Structure 1
Amino acid sequence: MTRYFSNIDSAITGPALIIIAGAFFALTNTLLQYGAMVQGIPPARLTFWQYLIAFCFMIPWIVARGRAALRTGHAVMHVLRVATAVGGVQLWTMGLAHVPIWQAIALIMLSPFFVTLGAHFLLKEETTIERWAALTLGFGGGMIILAPLSEDFSAYALYPVCAAALWAASSLFTKRMTRTESAETLTVYLLLLLTPFNALIALDVGLAVDLETGGLLLFGAGLLTALAQYALAKAYSLSDAAYLQPFDHVKLPLNVGLGLAVFGFMPPGSMWIGSALIVGASWFLLQREAKLDALQTDQEPA
C-alpha cells in the first residue's frame, strides 16, 4: 500500500513541480527582460544579482550539505563545469536584452541536441541513425525559428543558441562527473562558484544597482530562481527524466504568454512549427535514452 501511494506521488507531484518550476522560470525571464529592455540594466549586472540573491536563499541548504559535499578530487572539472554554465547564463540574459522571449525560449530548447552531438564527438558515444534523424529534425526546427535568411533576422538571436550549446557542455561535464561525484557535491560547487564567476564578468559594467528601480526586480528574480531550482531538483528526485520531459515543455507557452502580456511580443506561425519539430525530436531522443538506460540496467549482473 505504501509503495502504491509512493508511485502515485511520483506520477503527480513530479510533473506538478516541473510545471511550477517552468512558471517560476518564465516569471524570472520576464523580470530579466523587463530589467534589460525597459530599465536598461546591463545583462551582466542582472545575472550577478539574480544568482547572488538566489545563492543567499540557498545558504541553509548549502550549510546542511556543504562540509561532506565539498570533498572532491576533481576541483578543476568543477571549475570547468561551472564556467560553461556561467557562459550559458550570461548569453541567455544578453539574448533576453535584445530578442523577444518566444524566440529565445524556443531556441534554448536546442540544448538536448548539442548534448547528443557533444556525447558523440567528445565522449565517443555511439550515435545511431535514429539519433542523427532526431538531431536533423531538431536543428531544422531551430533554423525555422532563427530564420537567418529573413529580413527580420538579428544576430542577437544567436545568443540563446550559444547559451544552449554551453549549457549542453555543462550537462556533459555533469554526466561525466556523476561517475565519481555525488549529486550534493555537484550542486554545492555549482552554487558556490556561480557568484564569483558572475562577479568577474560584471566588473566591467559595475555591480551597483539603483534599489528604487531595480532592487525589487532583482530580489524577485533571485527568489524565483532559487524556488525554481529547488522545484526542479525535487521533481527529478521523484520521477524519471523521460517521464517528466513532456511536462517541461509547458515552459514554452508560459514564456510566450507572459511575453505577449507584458511586452506585446506576438510570435509568428513559424515559431510553432519550429517548436513542434524541436519538442518532438527532443522527446524522441529522451525516450530513446531512457530505453537504452533500462536495457543496460537489465543486462548488468545482479
Structure 2
Amino acid sequence: MNQVSSSNASLLGATFMLGAGITFAIINVITPIVTWQMGVPSTAVVFWQYVIATVFALPLIWRIGFGALKTRHPVAHEVRAFLSALGVQFFAFGFASGVPVWQMVALSMTGPFFIIAGATIFLGERLTVQRLGATIAGFAGALLVSQIGSEQFTWASILPVLAAACWGTVSVITKYLTRDEAPESLTLYMLVLITPNHFLIGLILGIAVAILPAGALPASLATGFDFMLPGGDALVLILLLGLVTAAAQYFLSLAYKVADATYLQPFDDLKLPLNIIAGWLVLGQVPGILFWPGVLLIIGASLFIMRQDRGRLPTGRSPIPETA
C-alpha cells in the first residue's frame, strides 16, 4: 500500500469511527427517552430496535453472502451472539433504570479490562505487570465514575459494567474464532443471530417472571416481555433507533475494514465526549465532580493496554453490536 492510499485509509477509518460515535450517541439519548421517560420496557425496545436494524442491514448481509455461514464453531458463534445481545439488554435496562448517559458510557469502557482477564484465562495469554496495573487503574476509575459509597450510587450503576463484561467476553471469543474463521463469517453470524437472541432473552425473562415470587425482580422487569410494538411517539422513536443502530454497525464495519483496530481505538474513545454533550443538550444530564478523574483513569489505562498489545491484535475485527 503506498503512502497516499495508507493516509487515505487512516482518514477514512477515523471518519467512519467518528460517524459510529455520533450514531451511538443518538442511540444513547433516544433509549432513555423511550424507556425511562415513556415507560416502554427496555427488553421490548431492544428487541424491536434490532429487528428493524436487521431489516436495514439486509443489503450488508446479502453482500457478504450466506456462504460465509459455513463454520466449524456453531456453538461459539451462538454464545458470542447471545452474550452480545445480553450486553445490549443490560445497557438498555441501565437507561430504563435512570442511570445517566455519562455514567453508562464511561462504565461501559471497562470492556478492555475484561478482555485481559478472559484472554489470560481462556486463551493462555501472559498477564504482565503492566497489563495488571492498567487493569487495576481502570477499575479504580470505574469506582470513581460509579460514585460508589455516595448517595448517587444505585444498584443500577453496575449494569453498564455487566454489559462491558459481556462485550469483553464477546471480544475474547471473537479473538479465538479469528484463528480459523474469516471476518465475513464473524460479521454475518452476528448480524443473523443477534435478533433471535434478543427474542430468546425476552422469553427467558418471561419465564422468570412467571416462576419467581412477586418482588423478586425490579419493577421495570416484572411486567415480563411485551412483543407488541408500542404506538404513537414511542413507535417513531423505536423506528429511528433501528435505523440509527443499522447505521452505527455500517460505520463500524467500514472503519475496521480500512484501518487497524489499534489505530482506531483513540477515535472510538471520542464516543465519551460525544455522549456527554448529547446527554447534556437533550437530557440535561451533567457529570459529577468524581467523573473526571475516574474517566481519565479508564481512558488512560485503556490506551496503555492498546499500546502494549500493538502488533499482537488482528488488523480488523467483526463489528460487535452494542449501544455504547
**Shift of the alpha carbon at 1:210?**
2.3
**Shift of the alpha carbon at 1:67?**
2.2
**Shift of the alpha carbon at 1:186?**
1.0
**Shift of the alpha carbon at 1:291?**
4.2
> What CA distance in whole angstroms lies between the structure 2 residues aligned with 1:173 and 1:188?
15
Task: Report the equivalent of 1:273.
Answer: 293
> What CA distance in whole angstroms lies between the structure 2 residues aligned with 1:65 and 1:12?
24
Task: Flag the 1:292–1:42 CA change in 2: closer, same or farther, 3 A.
Answer: same
**Shift of the alpha carbon at 1:176?**
0.3
Letter in 1 for 2:254: K
Task: Flag the 1:201–1:293 CA change in 2: closer, same or farther, 3 A.
Answer: closer
**Shift of the alpha carbon at 1:187?**
1.1
**Shift of the alpha carbon at 1:66?**
2.8
Contact 1:43 1:94 in 2 (8 A): yes
**Shift of the alpha carbon at 1:273?**
0.9
> What CA distance in whole angstroms lies between the structure 2 residues aligned with 1:4 and 1:17?
20
More helix by share: 1
Q: Gapped runs of 5+ residues in structure 1?
A: 295-302
Contact 1:107 1:142 in 2 (8 A): yes
Contact 1:39 1:213 in 2 (8 A): no
> What CA distance in whole angstroms lies between the structure 1 residues aligned with 2:24 and 2:313?
29
**Shift of the alpha carbon at 1:293?**
5.4
Task: Report the equivalent of 2:95.
Answer: 96
Aligned CA-pair RMSD: 1.4
SS of 2:57 mapped into structure 1: helix
Letter in 2 for 1:224: V
> What CA distance in whole angstroms lies between the structure 2 residues aligned with 1:234 and 1:212?
34
Contact 2:86 2:201 in 1 (8 A): no
> What CA distance in whole angstroms lies between the structure 2 residues aligned with 1:65 and 1:157?
38
Task: Report the equivalent of 1:18.
Answer: 17
Greater shift, 130-139 or 56-65, is seen at 56-65
> What CA distance in whole angstroms lies between the structure 2 residues aligned with 1:18 and 1:159?
25
1:209-288 matches, within 5 Å, as: 209-288=229-308
Letter in 1 for 2:261: A
Letter in 1 for 2:263: Y
Contact 2:147 2:290 in 1 (8 A): no
TM-score (normalizing by structure 2) = 0.87
**Shift of the alpha carbon at 1:30?**
0.8
Map Cα deviations across residues 251-300 of structure 1 (whole Å, 9 max, x no partner): 10111111111211110121111111100100010111014559xxxxxx
Which aligned runs of 4 or more in structure 1 are off by greater than 4 angstroms?
291-294
> What CA distance in whole angstroms lies between the structure 2 residues aligned with 1:159 and 1:293?
28
1:76-225 matches, within 5 Å, as: 76-98=75-97, 99-203=99-203, 204=206, 205-225=225-245
Letter in 1 for 2:279: G
Q: Gapped runs of 5+ residues in structure 2?
A: 207-224, 315-324
Contact 2:42 2:92 in 1 (8 A): yes
Task: Report the equivalent of 1:41.
Answer: 40
> What CA distance in whole angstroms lies between the structure 2 residues aligned with 1:74 and 1:168?
19
